[in-house]
C-alpha cells in the first residue's frame, strides 16, 4: 500500500537512547528538559526568536485566537484543512470566508477589505502546502484596519520567504508536528509569536494559566507536549536535511515525468524556498480526478483530495460564495510524496496517472 505520505522515523536506537534518560529522570511531562531542548534547537534551526511547542496544531490555533483576544468575525480562507475553520468556530468566533488566488491557492488579499466589518478583529490565513500568502499586502491591510494576523503554517517547517523564515510574518504563526508532516513529534504543534509579551501570554495559556505552582496568570488549558514526544522530535532533527533532499528529488521526478500530462500545478510564490511538503496536481475536471483516483486505488495507491471540500461548504458555517475555492477543491489531488518514496514508485504512479487521463 502506498499512501499520500509515509512517516519518517529516526533509527530506533536513537530514540531508545533518549528514553533511557526519561526512565532515569522519571520526568515525563510538565516541560521537562527535552521539551526545552527541542524549543531551543527549533529556534536555532528555523531562524526564529521564539517558539512554544504544544501538543497539536489545532490547540496552537485555538491558543493563538485566545492570546490575541479575537472575538466577533475572523476573515479566513475556505481552502485549508478543517482545523483552520473549526478552531475559529470552537472559540465562539465567526469565520468570514474570502476566496483564493487561483495561481497560488492562498487567500486573495485583494478581496479582504470588502469583507471587513465593524465586528472584524483578525485574519487567519493559510500558507497552502507551504506556499506563502501575499504577506506584504495582508500586513498593510491589517495595519490599516487595526487587525491581528494569524498564519496557519502547518505545512511550513523550514520554508523561507525573501530570505527570512516564513514564520516571522504576522502576529502569530502556528505549526503542526503531526506524524504526516515533514518534521513531527508523532502528535504535536507549535506557536511562533513575533512579540515577547504575546509569547508570554501564549506560554501561560498552554499550561492552565499557571504562574508558579500556587498562582495563576489567567485562564488556560493543557496544551503541553510530553518528554516522549519531544524525544522523538530531537531524534528527527539531525535527519531533516536528508528528508528535504529526498522529497525534493521525488518532487522533481514528478515534475519531469508529468510534464506533458493534462495537468497543472499551483505556482510557488516568487522569493520562496519551499520544503516540498506536498505534490498537488490540478485536473481539468472532477471527473478526470475521480477516474485517476479510482485507477490508482486499484493498484493500492492512495493519493488524497487535499483540500476537499471547500470549507465554506461545512455544515456549521453560514453560506459563502467562494467559486474559485469550490472549483479548485473539486479538481485538486495530492500525489504520494515522502522521504521514503522510491523514484521507481514515482515513475509507476506517473505512468498510471497518464494512462488514466
Task: Judge if 184 and 263 occupy the same domain.
Answer: no
Over range 80-96, report the average pLDDT: 98
Lookup result for grid cell 502506498: 2
* Cα–Cα distance for residue pair 273/151, rounded to 1 Å: 18
Q: At what angle do helices 343-356 and 240-257 cross, to 10 degrees?
A: 30
The answer to whether the CB of 326 falls within 8 A of the CB of 273 is: no
Largest separation between any pair of C-alpha atoms in the chain: 66
Label residue 318 by pLDDT band (50, 70, 90). Answer: confident
Cα-based torsion angle of the residue sequence 183, 185, 189, 192 in order, rounded to the nearest 10 degrees: -60
Q: pLDDT tens digits for 225-248? A: 999 999 999 999 999 999 999 999
Residue 132's CATH number = 3.40.640.10
Closest CA to 280 of 329, 323, 344: 329
- Same-domain status, 285 and 231: no
Residue 233: φ, ψ to 5°:
-60, -45
From 238, 253, 277, give the residue that closes a domain. Answer: 238
**Which domain range does residue 188 map to?**
2-238
**Burial of residue 245 (number of CB atoms within 10 Å: 0-12, 13-18, 19+):** exposed
Under DSSP, the state recorded for 113 is G
pLDDT above 90: residue 215: no
Mean pLDDT for the stretch of residues 97-114: 98
Q: Would residue 151 be called left, alpha or beta, if left means φ above 0 and alpha means ψ between -120 and 50 degrees?
A: beta
CB 312 within 8 A of CB 11: no
User: Which cell numbers hold the place of 269?
Assistant: 510564490
| Residues 48-72, mean pLDDT to the nearest whole number | 98
Per the prediction, the chain carries an average pLDDT of: 97
Q: What is the structure's pLDDT at 319? A: 85
pTM (two decimals): 0.97
Number of domains in the chain: 2
Query: Which of 190, 217, 238 delimits the end of a domain?
Result: 238
Q: By percentage, how much of the chain surpasses pLDDT 90?
A: 96
Q: Round to whole Å and give the CA distance between 48 and 42.
A: 8
121 CB-near residues (< 8 Å, 6+ apart): 68, 69, 70, 71, 72, 73, 74, 93, 147, 148
For the beta sheet containing 164-165, the strands, ordered from the edge strand earlier in sequence to the opposite edge, are: 164-165, 160-161, 272-273
Which of the two residues, 213 and 142, has the higher pLDDT score? Answer: 142
The DSSP element (H or E) to which 282 belongs, if any, is strand 279-282
Mean pLDDT of 73-88: 98
- Checking if the pLDDT of 181 tops 90, the result is yes
Pair (224, 273) in one structural domain = no
State which H helix or E strand residue 190 sits in. strand 189-193
Residue 80 contacts residue 105 (beta carbons within 8 Å): no
Select from 256, 244, 142, 185 the least CA-distant residue to 42.
185
Whether 9 and 129 share a structural domain: yes
Query: Locate cell 470549507: which residue?
Result: 311
271: region left, alpha or beta (phi > 0 left; psi from -120 to 50 alpha): left
Q: What is the CATH number of the domain that holds 330?
A: 3.90.1150.10
Asked whether residue 311 falls in the same domain as residue 244, the answer is yes
Which residue, 180, 184, 175, 186, is CA-closest to 130?
A: 175
Do 230 and 259 share a structural domain?
A: no
Amino acid at each position: 500500500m502506498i499512501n499520500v505520505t509515509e512517516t519518517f522515523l529516526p533509527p530506533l536506537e536513537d530514540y531508545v537512547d533518549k528514553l533511557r534518560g526519561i526512565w532515569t529522570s522519571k520526568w515525563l511531562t510538565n516541560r521537562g528538559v527535552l521539551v526545552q531542548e527541542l524549543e531551543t534547537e527549533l529556534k536555532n534551526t528555523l531562524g526564529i526568536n521564539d517558539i512554544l511547542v504544544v501538543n497539536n496544531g489545532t490547540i496552537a490555533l485555538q491558543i493563538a485566537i485566545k492570546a490575541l483576544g479575537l472575538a466577533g468575525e475572523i476573515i479566513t480562507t475556505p481552502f485549508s484543512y478543517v482545523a483552520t475553520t473549526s478552531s475559529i468556530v470552537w472559540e465562539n468566533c465567526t469565520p468570514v470566508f474570502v476566496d483564493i488566488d487561483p495561481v497560488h491557492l492562498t487567500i486573495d488579499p485583494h478581496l479582504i477589505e470588502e469583507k471587513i466589518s465593524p465586528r472584524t478583529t483578525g485574519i487567519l490565513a493559510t500558507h497552502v502546502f507551504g506556499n506563502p500568502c501575499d504577506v506584504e499586502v495582508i500586513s498593510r491591510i491589517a495595519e490599516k484596519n487595526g487587525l491581528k494576523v494569524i498564519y496557519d503554517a502547518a505545512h511550513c517547517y523550514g520554508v523561507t520567504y525573501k530570505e527570512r523564515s516564513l514564520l516571522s510574518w504576522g502576529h502569530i504563526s502556528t505549526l503542526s508536528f503531526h506524524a504526516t508532516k515533514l518534521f513531527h513529534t508523532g502528535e504535536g504543534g507549535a506557536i511562533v509569536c513575533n512579540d515577547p509579551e504575546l509569547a508570554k501570554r501564549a506560554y501561560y495559556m498552554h499550561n492552565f494559566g499557571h504562574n508558579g505552582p500556587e498562582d495563576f496568570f489567567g485562564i488556560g488549558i493543557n496544551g503541553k507536549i510530553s518528554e516522549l514526544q519531544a524525544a522523538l522530535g530531537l531524534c528527527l532533527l539531525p535527519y531533516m536535511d536528508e528528508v528535504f533532499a529526498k522529497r525534493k528529488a521525488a518532487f522533481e521526478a514528478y515534475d519531469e515525468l508529468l510534464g506533458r500530462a493534462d495537468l497543472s500545478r499551483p505556482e510557488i510564490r516568487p522569493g520562496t524556498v519551499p520544503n516540498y511538503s506536498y505534490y498537488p496536481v490540478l485536473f481539468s475536471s472532477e471527473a478526470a480526478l475521480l477516474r485517476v483516483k479510482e485507477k490508482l486505488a486499484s493498484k493500492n495507491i492512495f493519493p488524497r483530495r487535499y483540500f476537499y471540500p471547500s470549507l465554506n461548504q461545512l455544515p456549521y458555517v453560514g453560506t459563502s460564495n467562494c467559486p474559485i475555492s469550490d472549483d479548485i477543491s473539486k479538481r485538486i489531488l495530492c500525489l504520494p510524496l515522502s522521504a521514503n518514496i522510491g523514484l521507481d514508485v514515482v515513475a509507476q504512479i506517473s505512468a498510471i496517472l497518464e494512462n488514466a487521463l
